[in-house]
Amino acid sequence: MPSMNPGWFRQHPTKVNVSTLIGRHNARRYDLNRNFPDFFIPNTKQSQPETEAVKEWISKIQFVLSGSLHGGALVASYPFDNTPSASPLNAVFQRYSPTPSIAPDDDVFRHLSLVYSTNHAKMSRGVSCRSHVPFKDGITNGAAWYPLTGGMQDYNYLWHGCMEITLELSCCKYPPAHELPKYWADNQQALIKYLAEAHRGAHGFVMDENGNPVERAAVRVKGRDVTYHTTKYGEFWRILLPGNYRLDVSAEGYIPQEVEFVVIDSHPTLLNVTLHSAKRIDNGGYYRPLAPRPPPAPAPGFFASITNSFQNLVNNFLG
């Protein structure tokens, strides 16, 4: 997708801006990277046509890996972007007490971010842009940098099982066109290496006992409380680092299965699973798999704890 915000660029085709403020919003003055549904707190901002188009696109194609290209810094940022206590007051304290918001697949996200930064011409050096502190190895947890509500990378990960990181590629928010060859040279190797990571981990098919694909089967790796779903062809993909794992697979009307498997570094593990139809139970329904559990909430930082206590005191005082 060339741009999620074509409206602004159509109105300002030659605008060059170093800051992070001008040009962030669409033609209706909504920041599109604050416009997606949020797992931690309700996003009350009106959903924009661009956001709805992207959500529909993502729902129809099960993407495995994604990189959202941004400008304004030089870093690979990974989920979570938000925290369980992401109030505006907490966000102020978060600036001074960075607290990572750890995703269930934190090891994979850190690996993916390092793959990009170490193959970039200079990202892994932790080059600091104006007003930014250097990023160790050129990567950061999103919330540890600053928390935000309604970001696209958290949405892709939690709603659709797509491993997405945000790639900030330039200190200048909107560099001029004549500099694009330089940016391509800086990022070409990193982009290729990053895309190749889609072939890491495990993939396969979930079928019934007659060899028919089971669509929307819930696929979850034990210890990683994020549920993925199979496509209409019964396909699934799961990016994982080398190690031993257990996979829980369940679907409406089928007996759930648990499968042990091993992931190695050289090639993805092929993992096909057969689900057998469940017998009807007394009330006439079928066995219903348990709903997926939400990811565990990260522990608040020191300042976040103070802020929560202060907010509770204010709430009690004001009734």
* Active-site residue set: 168
What secondary structure letter does DSSP report for 253?
Answer: T
What secondary structure letter does DSSP report for 25?
Answer: B
Residue among 29, 32, 41, 47 at smallest CA distance from 152: 32
Cα(235)–Cα(239) distance, integer angstroms: 14
272 neighbors 204 (Cβ within 8 angstroms): yes
Residue among 288, 279, 292, 278 at smallest CA distance from 229: 292
25 neighbors 15 (Cβ within 8 angstroms): no
Cβ neighbors of 254 (< 8 A, separation 6 or more) are: 208, 214, 217, 275, 276, 277, 278, 286, 287
β strands within the chain, DSSP E: 65-70, 73-78, 139-141, 163-170, 202-208, 218-221, 228-229, 235-238, 243-250, 257-263, 269-270, 273-275
Residue among 202, 241, 244 at smallest CA distance from 115: 241
Cα(62)–Cα(81) distance, integer angstroms: 22
